[in-house]
Amino acid sequence: MLRIPRRYAHFVFAIIQSGLTSAVAAAIACAPFLQQSTFLEHWLISWSIAWATMVPIVLLAAPAIRRLAILLTIASD
């Protein structure tokens, strides 16, 4: 297991979350290629472009989304 200091948790979260989200979105977008047996090739290209795009977006957006979620919810004591 990697021993990444907790202060970098925001970056680890961004990498995991953006990777997973872009992988699912790329798979859905590449579904038509399943019949042509070129799905994996198209998916890998689409996913790598989407992931490279999403990592900085998630890094910048996550703190604002977290604050918005806190504003929109109440604590249940």
* Tens-place pLDDT, residues 4-20: 999 998 889 889 999 99
Instruction: Centre a 10 Å sphere on the Cβ of residue 10 and count the other Cβ atoms it contains.
Output: 14
* Tens-place pLDDT, residues 23-75: 999 999 999 999 998 999 999 999 999 999 999 999 999 889 889 999 999 88
Confidence of residue 76 (pLDDT cuts 50, 70, 90): confident
Residue 39 neighbours by CB under 8 Å, 6+ apart: 30, 31, 33
Residue 24's pLDDT is 96
